[in-house]
Amino acid sequence: MPARFQRITPFLWFDTQAEEAVNFYTSVFPNSRVGTISRYGKAGAQASGRPEGSVMVVAFELDGQAFTALNGGPQFKFNESVSLVVNCESQQEVDHYWIRLSEGGDPKAQQCGWLKDKYGLSWQIAPTQVIKLLSESNPDTAQRAMAAILQMKKIDIETVLKAAA
């Protein structure tokens, strides 16, 4: 039976750390796994300047979502124009993902639930209760919630709920 492909798969470009990053990410999220690993053959190595036999592409899943990581070289870097959002149902989840994903990352790039991990990838650790508050039909409630969030790095759900009330 042929493999079923997800219609849209995020493709992450790394210099040389694709396999290391995939192993890290799959250790952070439940229901995650490393899939196939493709290596540079002679033709690919010559075209890319990468060593023959080195990791080229790693297929993986994070919490059931398919991703692909490529060791493509130093030409392209991650930036904040693209981020991955982790929707969290509790403060315990927020704390877990914040602590794990920010390990070795850039502490200056932390604001309003956003962080940058040690590979330069941006993440948003987003409590679902807070997202609902920000789309509240009462604009005053949403504004109070946003004012509280703007003072935070890692989102504290209880503090935002109190501010919004």
Residue 87 and residue 64 share a domain: no
Q: How many domains does the chain have?
A: 2
Range of the domain at 20: 11-71
Residue 99 and residue 60 share a domain: no
pLDDT of amino acid 138: 87
pLDDT digits (tens, 9 = 90+) for 113-153: 999 999 999 999 999 999 999 987 888 999 999 999 999 99
Please name which of 164, 83, 101, 102 lies closest in space to residue 129, comparing C-alpha atoms: 164
Grouping H, G, I as helix, E, B as strand and the rest as coil, residue 79 is: coil
pLDDT of amino acid 3: 57
Residue 128 and residue 94 share a domain: yes
**Which of the listed residues 28, 47, 71 is the one where a domain comes to its end?**
71
User: Residue 111 maps to which CATH number?
Assistant: 3.10.180.10
Residue 93 and residue 134 share a domain: yes
